Amino acid sequence: MEYSGMRQRRHTHEAILIVIGILLGLIFLFPILILALNSFKSQKGIFLDILGFPAGEFFSATNYTRAFELLNYVQSFLNSLLITVTSTFLILLVSSMAAWVLVRYKTKMSTAIFIFFAASMLVPFQCVMLPLVRFSFTLHLLNRFGLILMYIGFGCSMSIVMFHGFIKNIPEELEEAATLDGCNALQLFFIIVVPMLRTIMITVAIINVMWIWNDFLLPSLIINKPGWQTLPLKIYLFFGQFSKRWDLASAGLMLCIIPIVIFYLSCQKYIVSGITEGAIK
């Protein structure tokens, strides 16, 4: 009887957690649902009934085509893709190599350097925003190349911390055996270490891709120039000083988030596994 009661309480506890999880999921998904519904409404329909379904005179079938044209979607998409892929690749390369060196080549400064990287995650971007722009203007970095360099700088801290925890648990014997076989440092890293970092690399890549793709503030300070603008920057065109085109903006935002949602759904299983392995191993 006591075992049966404990089992029943456990099932009840699990059912409560499931219900809470479903409710929290619906709360987080509700704004996306409203955005998707309003992307098919006219401007008048949004103002009159923002929570209703698009129907009748409120339905607009041209929002997506007009938003596609006004956003110059193909060019903006390619700009976002170039900046995101290049920045993420370089963040993975630099941060994984830095974390490996900090773990394997211990010096008196290794711990201090790692703490410095970890502490830098606590500094808000707004604190360095204006000095960064002034510094970039002085060095002529107000372009896509400068933006990529800044993403590397801001993205490496968290990435190094994640790689550091993962690499610490890779057996050193594998690297020692490869060294005895004649591998130099670069061969050791790319042939032996990198294949074992696959899970955590995918996790770090997903986190950085989602951040860089959706970022608005840093690109608006660095590359707000016709022909260089990313999708988040182009969306801002729908919000003028005297009018705001919520119908076109809703469709444009959906066009902006669909690629990153597809990317996330295709890779989401690696996020939890990567973080868990880095923390437990």
Q: Report pLDDT for 272.
A: 60
From the list 12, 172, 155, the residue with the least C-alpha distance to 95 is 155
- Which amino acid does the sequence have at 57? E
Q: Using CA atoms, how far apart are residues 231 and 235, in angstroms rounded to an integer?
A: 6
Tell me the β-bridge partners of 239: 244
Q: Residue 277, Cβ neighbours under 10 Å: how many?
A: 15
Tell me the β-bridge partners of 244: 239
- What stretches in the chain show pLDDT beneath 50? 278-281
**Alpha helices by DSSP H, the chain:** 2-38, 43-48, 63-70, 73-104, 110-120, 125-138, 144-167, 172-180, 185-187, 194-196, 198-214, 217-222, 231-235, 246-267, 269-280
Q: 227: phi > 0 → left, psi -120 to 50 → alpha, else beta; which?
A: left
Cβ pair 157, 118 in contact under 8 A: yes
Q: Is 62 helix (H, G, I), strand (E, B) or coil?
A: coil
Q: Report pLDDT for 174.
A: 82
Q: Is 244 helix (H, G, I), strand (E, B) or coil?
A: strand
**57 alpha carbon, distance to own chain's centre:** 38
Class of domain 63-280: mainly alpha
pTM summary value: 0.85
Phi and psi at 59, nearest 5°, equal -80, 135
Cβ pair 273, 206 in contact under 8 A: no
Q: Residue 204, Cβ neighbours under 10 Å: how many?
A: 29
Q: Report pLDDT for 3.
A: 55
Q: Report pLDDT for 281.
A: 46
Q: Using CA atoms, how far apart are residues 214 and 253, in angstroms rounded to an integer?
A: 10
Q: Report pLDDT for 209.
A: 93
Q: Is 117 helix (H, G, I), strand (E, B) or coil?
A: helix
